[in-house]
Amino acid sequence: MSESLQSILGAETLAAFEAEGPLFSGLPGAAYTSEAFLALENERIFTDSWVFAGFAHELPRAGDVAPATVAGRPLLLVRDAELRVRAFHNVCRHRNLKLVDAPGNAGRAIRCPYHSWTYGLDGTLHVTPYFGGSEPRAVPPGFDRGRHGLVPVRSATWYDWIFVNLNGAAAALEEFLAPLRNRLEGIDLTRLHHIATIDFGEVAANWKLILENFIEPYHVQFVHATTTEQPLTDHYTVNDSGCLGCAVDVSGEATRGDTLSADSRYLTLFPNFVFGLYFPDQIGVQLNVPRAPDRTLQRRAIYSLGPESRLNACAEQLVKLWSGVHAEDHAMLERLQQGRASELAAGGGVLSPVWEDAVRSFQERVVSGLG
Ligand SMILES: [Fe+2]
């Protein structure tokens, strides 16, 4: 059992965070630096919720497999014979070896490299060679292969995005997605076309700092002065129960040169689905996977809407633009993380009631998800 929220953050610090305005404090620093806090997040938030775990287009063919990590656990994503994506615990039922450690195609069966236990794409255990003796099919008395298949994890795919719910108790995925869908204003996601993915590797910052940075528009004019033309005054925050983020309407200005200047929606679903919509036809989705309190793996997939989109010929340019935008954010995120080594960060700083109200809501979701 993990430590409680109160024992990790301290009762007084937690009470200061929970105190009502006029100004709100941010989350206490330990929420971003403590191993115990991440363990609690893994045990509760990343176990109870629908968690974004992977991209379906990376598993196009039957037999394609890819490892994923959710709540610190090794999971396995599989495209089965009916072309459905399934999720399992990525652990052989024999000696609990991590079964698949790199994306690839397993053919019709997933074989453990250690003793060749072999599972079907539906998780059924088919082969356990010599387990019961010197005959290939021998099994010991009392052993039933039917009881040692891969253990499934509840999963569902929405367009290109694979979600899993480890404890199986979250509300239906449709319900989880509804607040985002309500914000998509007639966008037709059936036209989704993957253009490129940028793998940023490890960002030296806590996953929550990445989400908070995406949610708030306050930094854009300062941090992204050269990569974007989106004045702060054109922004507003999105603070629905269920969908947090911000948006900008730039009054119809056209994209100029290599900068981003378009009406945009920066939307998140708690805890980790990050969805950017850049009118008229660009979408970006981030997969952020916590590795440690101060380290998060990050990838960004870039999409267009429609096969005829002019974006489809601009992969290189888009990768360059978004690599630049993320590099600007990473520099700030790593310094946000470093600042949390100071005792001054225990109080969590102070949030703008205008531009960081949705950040506050995100932080309140974290605290309520751990209580
Ligand atoms: Fe940013």
**Predicted confidence (pLDDT) per residue in 326-349, tens digit:** 999 999 999 999 999 999 999 999
Strand partners, 306: none
**Predicted confidence (pLDDT) per residue in 172-228, tens digit:** 999 999 999 999 978 999 999 999 999 999 999 999 999 999 999 999 999 998 887
pTM over 0.85: yes
The CA 164 to ligand 1 mean position distance, Å, reads 27
- Cα–Cα distances (Å) from 313 to 124, 166, 254, 318, in that order, read 43, 39, 18, 10
Which sequence spans correspond to the domains of the chain? 51-157, 178-370
* Cβ-based burial of 279 (10 A; exposed 0-12, middle 13-18, buried ≥19): middle
pLDDT at 299 over 50: yes
C-alpha dihedral sign at 87, 47, 156, 183: negative
Query: Can you say whether residue 275 is alpha, beta or left, with left for phi > 0 and alpha for psi between -120 and 50 degrees?
Result: beta
* Measured distance CA(149)–CA(166) in Å, rounded: 17
The CA 58 to ligand 1 mean position distance, Å, reads 26
Averaged pLDDT score across all residues of the chain: 94
pLDDT at 252 over 70: no
Token pair for 357:
């109200």
The CA 325 to ligand 1 mean position distance, Å, reads 7
The CA 117 to ligand 1 mean position distance, Å, reads 47
pLDDT at 25 over 60: yes
Q: Are 320 and 227 in contact, with CB atoms under 8 Å apart? A: no
Q: How confident is the model at residue 234 (pLDDT cuts 50, 70, 90)?
A: confident
The CA 254 to ligand 1 mean position distance, Å, reads 20
The CA 214 to ligand 1 mean position distance, Å, reads 6
Question: What does the pLDDT average to over 302-323?
Answer: 92
pLDDT at 297 over 80: yes
The CA 261 to ligand 1 mean position distance, Å, reads 14
Q: How confident is the model at residue 254 (pLDDT cuts 50, 70, 90)?
A: very low
The CA 160 to ligand 1 mean position distance, Å, reads 24
pLDDT at 257 over 50: no
Question: 51-157 adopts what CATH topology?
Answer: Rieske Iron-sulfur Protein (2.102.10)
pLDDT at 43 over 60: yes
% of the chain at pLDDT higher than 90: 88
Residue 93, H or E segment: none
Question: What does the pLDDT average to over 130-140?
Answer: 97
The CA 355 to ligand 1 mean position distance, Å, reads 13
Among 7-21, 165-179, 243-257, 272-286, which is the least confidently predicted range?
A: 243-257
The CA 333 to ligand 1 mean position distance, Å, reads 9
The CA 213 to ligand 1 mean position distance, Å, reads 6
* Measured distance CA(293)–CA(38) in Å, rounded: 6
**Pure H helices in the chain:** 5-9, 11-18, 30-33, 35-43, 45-48, 173-181, 207-215, 220-223, 315-339, 357-370
The half-sphere exposure of 112 on its side-chain side, counting CA atoms within 13 A, is 24
Question: What does the pLDDT average to over 13-41?
Answer: 95
pLDDT at 260 over 80: no
The CA 223 to ligand 1 mean position distance, Å, reads 7
- What pLDDT was estimated at residue 342? 97
* Measured distance CA(13)–CA(6) in Å, rounded: 9
Question: What does the pLDDT average to over 220-240?
Answer: 87
The CA 216 to ligand 1 mean position distance, Å, reads 8
The CA 226 to ligand 1 mean position distance, Å, reads 12
Q: Which CATH superfamily is domain 178-370 in?
A: Naphthalene 1,2-dioxygenase Alpha Subunit; Chain A, domain 1 (3.90.380.10)
pLDDT at 308 over 90: no
Token pair for 187:
């966008």
Token pair for 328:
């600007």
The CA 271 to ligand 1 mean position distance, Å, reads 18
- What pLDDT was estimated at residue 2? 61
**Predicted confidence (pLDDT) per residue in 70-106, tens digit:** 999 999 999 999 999 999 999 999 999 999 999 999 9
